[in-house]
Amino acid sequence: MRAVITTSLAAVLVLASAAPNARAANCGEVPDVLILLDRSGSMKELVGTQSKWSIAKTAVDSLTTKFKDQIAFGMMLFPKWPHVSNCSTGQVNVTPSATAGPTINGLLSSAYPAGDTPSTNSINAARSWLSANKKAGGDQYVILI
């Protein structure tokens, strides 16, 4: 389990090191980054003294705070939030925006882990959503946590 958390946080760090500088953001080259966050029941499990959910929320808050105005973050929770069924495909809860950090963190303060892990369907839904909402000349990325 630690390997999964470590790998997820490593992905966040890789993105952070490759993030555009403020000058690029001012030139309109802000990439869309859709954070695809597992909120299944396994996120209640502890790593040390903290739940995986708590660790993920802290990492997302840090990322969206550090790179606000430089990256257009969005959020998709899976299974679907608000909770529909145990294994429902995720949906975009927050549309990517350079100012979406507070909205994402507000969403995470009310959401909670429950249900199964429809990761494959949710990854496909994220890809479809990004394809349908591509901005001309804009880069798009997904961070799977």
What local confidence, expressed as pLDDT, does residue 27 receive? 62
Spans in the chain with pLDDT lower than 70? 1-28, 84
Q: Is 19 left (phi over 0), alpha (psi -120 to 50) or beta?
A: beta
**Cis (ω within 30 of 0) for the bond into 79?**
yes
Distance CA 106, CA 110 (A): 7
What local confidence, expressed as pLDDT, does residue 28 receive? 62
What local confidence, expressed as pLDDT, does residue 11 receive? 46
What local confidence, expressed as pLDDT, does residue 6 receive? 43
82: three-class secondary structure by DSSP: coil
Show the DSSP H helices in the chain as ranges.
2-18, 22-26, 52-66, 101-110, 119-132
What local confidence, expressed as pLDDT, does residue 80 receive? 93
CB 101 within 8 A of CB 65: yes
CB 38 within 8 A of CB 117: yes
What local confidence, expressed as pLDDT, does residue 135 receive? 87
